[in-house]
Chain A
Amino acid sequence: MPKVFYTDADGVVRAIDGEVGDTVMELAVRNGVPGIVAECGGACVCATCHVYVRADFGDRLPPMDEQEDDMLDGAAAPRRPESRLSCQLTLTAELDGLSVTTPATQL
């Protein structure tokens, strides 16, 4: 069961156990983690599930496709090199311990 650490903009950390195959967005929504809105439910069309992924996980993440890359430009909070849309981050065993920070705003 891969565990994900969500840190909100105030620095509060929540650790949630997920299943392989869940996305980081789904896990957050299912467990009521604040800071992720996910208005479109995972279709990668709204950019309201923006997270900053801790840098050392970068090379274990699934690659970013053009849809995600372009939609990230529309996120409400500033885009940074470690920005991803959490609906595109599907959990694998290798991602156990993944640490993401949610931005101050998604809208």
Chain B
Amino acid sequence: MSGILIVGGGQAAVQLAASLREYGVDRPIRLVGAESWQPYQRPPLSKAFLAGRAQPGDLLLRSMDFYHANDIDLVAGERVVDIRLGACGGVAETDSGQRYAFDQLALTTGGGPRRLAVDGARLDGVHYLRDVADALRLRADLPGRESVVVIGGGFVGLEAAATLRAQGLTTTVVEAADRLLARVVAPVVSDFYRSAHQRRGIDVRLGTSVEAITGDRGRVTGVRLADGTTVPADLVLVGIGMVAHTDLATRIGLDCRGGIVVDEYARTGHPSVVAAGDCTATRLPGAGLVRLESVQHATDQARVAAASLAGRLQPYRATPWFWSEQGDLMLQMAGLVTGHDRVVVRAGPDPERFCVLYYRRGRLLAGHAVNRPADYLAVRQALSRGASIPPDLAADLNTPLKQIPTEPVPCT
């Protein structure tokens, strides 16, 4: 059997396969994923799943019926370790020695957690959180534990910290930068999250780097910080980012820069190979190389990649969106903040409900809304239409954002 081979069994892989069928592709489709689970969603891993409110079966992206009905050959639990590529098509080999021939290839290999390189990082009780296996390990390690240090104040770290704190653990977040979520939100949002988590009893240490993880008889006992103090802990969760899986792509000679480089049609440098999801770095007109790790990006780019394989090119134009649920705080984000020169804050008496709009030369770039879904939606819809919300009117909480007439964006 030749046909289309999708390497990776995550959000992007499943969407790519589904979209190929929607676009009428009737060639064989095979999806090979390294994890032994049927494809599932990761977002709950730091939220409901970690809290014990969901089981692995609840996470599945699609039922087995879906793969059967769409004639998608799902191979779970095999890792592709080598690919040989000819002028058109090639052969992939897995760790179990299977060989799969293909005439078109899609790489949706995602990424793995960035590992912490300090003394003690391999002690029992030091965890990462990328897949179900990680989450099950962490869950199994929770009973009887009293304190956790979360290393890294990014989304995954903060979501997990909120979940663990709500279960009664003494929780400390250690972040090397001088604010939380520093790469993705404005300082006003970072400051909000620091106070909000502090109000819920989380000890937040900023501008603090980790020197070592201390242990006793193979088990973690604490985290030693650069200032010499040690925070005691019987659990450590490391959430310091993701490293894209680009090894296979590099092996077959594709350009990789922190991700597999693709164009706005999800095409790599090889005519038979597309890539989508967390593993990519996308060259977008006017924006340079963009790396995004989100469900929205994985699914929208997978649709674009499927269209390219089906021979009906459609450029990636989706408005990026993202959410992060940290305990009872729902953050919804639309657009990208890169290059903003002004922020407008819409806030009222409730400190835990506000929206921040980001502008560049008066033009709306993005919005971050905490517990204000209507504001988020207004921003997302304006951006999708290529319109802007006048900044001088946006701060007025008495006017719903969606009622402010949007303005067309001047050509730059």
Q: Which residues of A contact B (CB under 8 A)?
A: 26, 29-32, 39-41, 43, 45-46, 66-67, 70-71, 73-74
Besides A32-B66, A45-B373, 8 new A-B residue pairs in contact (Cβ under 8 A), listed by A number: A29-B62, A29-B63, A40-B295, A40-B323, A41-B59, A43-B323, A73-B374, A74-B381
Of the four ranges (under 10, 10 to 19, 20 to 34, 35 or more), the interface on chain B belongs to: 20 to 34
Which of B59, B62, B299 contacts A39, CB < 8 Å?
B299
Which of A41, A66, A73 contacts B41, CB < 8 Å?
A41
Task: Report whether B377 and A43 are in contact in the complex, using a CB–CB cutoff of 8 Å.
Answer: no
Chain A hits for B381, CB < 8 A: 74
B44 at the interface (CB under 8 A from A): yes
Given the known A-B contacts A40-B295, A40-B323, A67-B373, are A74 and B62 also in contact in the complex, defined by CB atoms under 8 Å? no
Task: Report whether A41 and B377 are in contact in the complex, using a CB–CB cutoff of 8 Å.
Answer: no
Q: Mark B320-362, 1 if CB is under 8 A from A, else 0.
A: 0101010000101000000000000000000000000000000
Query: A31 to B299, alpha carbons, bound, how many Å?
Result: 20
Task: Report whether B65 and A70 are in contact in the complex, using a CB–CB cutoff of 8 Å.
Answer: no
Chief secondary structure at chain B's binding surface: helix
CB-contacts of B180-197 with A (<8 A): none
11 contacts between A and B (CB under 8 A): A31-B63, A41-B43, A41-B44, A43-B325, A67-B373, A70-B377, A71-B373, A73-B374, A73-B402, A74-B377, A74-B381
9 closest residue pairs by CB, A with B: A70-B373, A70-B374, A32-B66, A45-B323, A74-B377, A32-B65, A41-B41, A30-B63, A32-B63
Chain B hits for A45, CB < 8 A: 323, 330, 332, 373
Task: Report whether A67 and B380 are in contact in the complex, using a CB–CB cutoff of 8 Å.
Answer: no
- Chain A residue nearest to B374 (CB atoms) is A70
Query: A32 to B67, alpha carbons, bound, how many Å?
Result: 9
Chain B hits for A67, CB < 8 A: 330, 373
Task: Report whether A32 and B62 are in contact in the complex, using a CB–CB cutoff of 8 Å.
Answer: yes
Chain A hits for B69, CB < 8 A: 32
Q: Mark B285-313, 1 if CB is under 8 A from A, else 0.
A: 00000000001100100000000000000
B190 to chain A, nearest CB (A): 21
A16 to chain B, nearest CB (A): 11
Query: A36 to B340, alpha carbons, bound, how many Å?
Result: 36
B250 to chain A, nearest CB (A): 31
B92 to chain A, nearest CB (A): 27
Query: A67 to B62, alpha carbons, bound, how many Å?
Result: 25
Query: A31 to B66, alpha carbons, bound, how many Å?
Result: 8
B131 to chain A, nearest CB (A): 15
Given the known A-B contacts A40-B295, A45-B330, are A73 and B325 also in contact in the complex, defined by CB atoms under 8 Å? no
B26 at the interface (CB under 8 A from A): no
B21 to chain A, nearest CB (A): 11
Task: Report whether A40 and B43 are in contact in the complex, using a CB–CB cutoff of 8 Å.
Answer: yes
Chain A hits for B374, CB < 8 A: 70, 73
